[in-house]
A and B are shown apart, each in its own frame.
Chain A
């Protein structure tokens, strides 16, 4: 198939540059590595960082899965998947277990990932301290000195005001006992999956031009206090399609009276679960 573009869109020199940055990022888990991000034919904020990481590491043998909000058929996930089909002519899948490479926005699949898989996160804002300190010059210093009091005070204030930490997504983690890391806007429900994950976790921020990584089997701890341990979301309801009580649920409004139902956010998990229960 002729596309008029290089395999995976980016030229080989750019892909090599990005792979070098990925290697550096893997060597310093959780450290935000600046890289010479390129413009992609997708809008900034729509997954250009994840796309550049994917483009740099994807090979002809890879089987790609792309999800947004846990679902394979959301418009932006479909659009990114089609892009790679077009410029790589590779196989894609909806099945988490079949994929060798998974690009995601806002979720980690419910199915446990294995050592032969790589998960690439799209990152809107790589800097976990940005809302507390707007200046890049300052936040880089704070990371260098491991000076994280700002973050701890913020969490403490939430507890004193609301009785618990009110961050429900993009809940900050500490990677490998060193860097405070933004897990991307995944629900805190997914945070425990990052800990000791067998798969390599790569993070690409296109607009902010940063790459970071969590190597396989790395300790990832959600920030908390001894007397206020980290907790994940729970639901009283179960999935109205597959009946799961263990997955992250989306709330859907099903009629004009505002009656609501809950379904799995991870569409592949829901489908597999339904088949298993039949």
Chain B
């Protein structure tokens, strides 16, 4: 008989056992959650973003359970978060009040509060470090003498341009009920709160590719974005319960923020001005925050009355396809049996061929 898809129950059981065996086969020591959190922190930070749940322990657990398949780990975290109760919406975070770990601007040589390089791969030479092959002690590291930044506040650098009206104003048009992509179906035309949420949860690779396409030539002509400011640090989260009538801090999170400056040629009503693209992520995800800021700017095209010519400017194209939990599900569903439909196609193609070969038609 046809064994490929029949007897499913037994096959599923064996398959799950084989998956477990794959993880344990050679009997190495089990990785601790803390080891993943500390030594694979970038993976952990990617998973909290796209899994859209700020919980580094669960993120590390998901990475362990998925055996390092990050898209699978993201899916695990999403499926968990959807069962959680929603207590409150936080108030908008204030990224000027930040415990800064890194902050750079590519547009200004010197900025109040200073440029802070912080931990970055940027100037490491990408040479494999073979000493890591046999690393015994992880708890000894060189304590570098980095000065604590004197400033406690780091206002957005590019706002200095506001003094001359050179930069578009960031208008706070948040209402009390922000769009919630985890609760509401997609709507078009999309509002900015809607697309910013989707981009924050979106697949890093997809957004990186899109942003690359825009600056390489499949974006508005002649524009080149400038990094106004990139920040990485820790900010407080506040909620403001109706019963209390004032804000309370419920914790702190790490964030990466990118403010991108882009050109705008102006039109009949508006003289030329710089425009903004904004990217924000959980944790240390600088590359993704930059990609988001470029996509954000492109999605604003319609609002500026710019011609919509490229994929990155097309709301439905970008927002429907950025989510890797949706994308991986639908692409991999092609593995599921389709033989009923395929039988229909077989049936048809035989019929069409017969008709033509027998000269009945055409």
Interface residues in chain A, defined as those with a beta carbon under 8 Å from any beta carbon in chain B: 5-6, 9, 11, 34-41, 43-46, 48, 68-71, 73-79, 82, 105-107, 124, 134-137, 162-163, 166, 168-170, 185-189, 207, 209-210, 233, 235, 248-252, 263, 265
Contacts and interface: CB of A to CB of B under 8 A. Distances in A.
B333 A75 contact: no
B343 interface: yes
B9 A78 contact: yes
A235 B328 CA distance: 36
B85 interface: yes
Contacts of A166: 348, 352
B186 interface: yes
B78 A248 contact: no
Nearest to B331: A45
Interface string B104-133: 000000000000000000000000000000
B246 interface: no
Contacts of A235: 347
Interface string B43-86: 00000000000000000000000000000000100110111010
A169 B362 CA distance: 25
B305 interface: no
Given A39-B78, A69-B340, A250-B340, 12 more contacts: A39-B79, A40-B82, A162-B352, A168-B347, A169-B345, A185-B338, A185-B340, A186-B340, A187-B341, A187-B343, A209-B186, A249-B343
Interface string B335-349: 011111101111110
B12 A78 contact: yes
B251 interface: no
A66 to B, nearest CB: 11
A168 B344 contact: yes
Contacts of A248: 340, 343
B18 interface: no
Contacts of A105: 336
A188 B12 CA distance: 31
A79 B12 contact: yes
Nearest to A68: B337
Contacts of A48: 329
Which of B82, B182, B333, B343 lies at the interface centre, i.e. has the most chain A CB atoms within 10 A of its CB?
B343
Contact of B330 (A124, A187, A263): A124
B316 A134 contact: yes
B343 A251 contact: yes
B141 interface: no
A9 B81 CA distance: 13
B81 to A, nearest CB: 7
27 contacts: A6-B83, A34-B185, A36-B183, A37-B185, A40-B82, A41-B79, A43-B328, A45-B332, A71-B6, A73-B7, A75-B11, A75-B12, A76-B8, A124-B330, A135-B188, A136-B188, A137-B188, A168-B344, A168-B347, A169-B341, A169-B345, A186-B340, A189-B344, A207-B330, A209-B185, A249-B343, A251-B343
B138 interface: no
A164 to B, nearest CB: 8
B100 to A, nearest CB: 34
B336 A44 contact: no
A74 B7 CA distance: 7
A5 B80 CA distance: 11
A43 B316 contact: no
Interface string B1-35: 01001111101100000000000000000000000
Which of A76, A168, A233 lies at the interface centre, i.e. has the most chain B CB atoms within 10 A of its CB?
A168
B247 interface: no
Given A68-B336, A252-B2, A265-B340, A44 B345 contact: no
Contact of A250 (B189, B330, B331, B343): B343
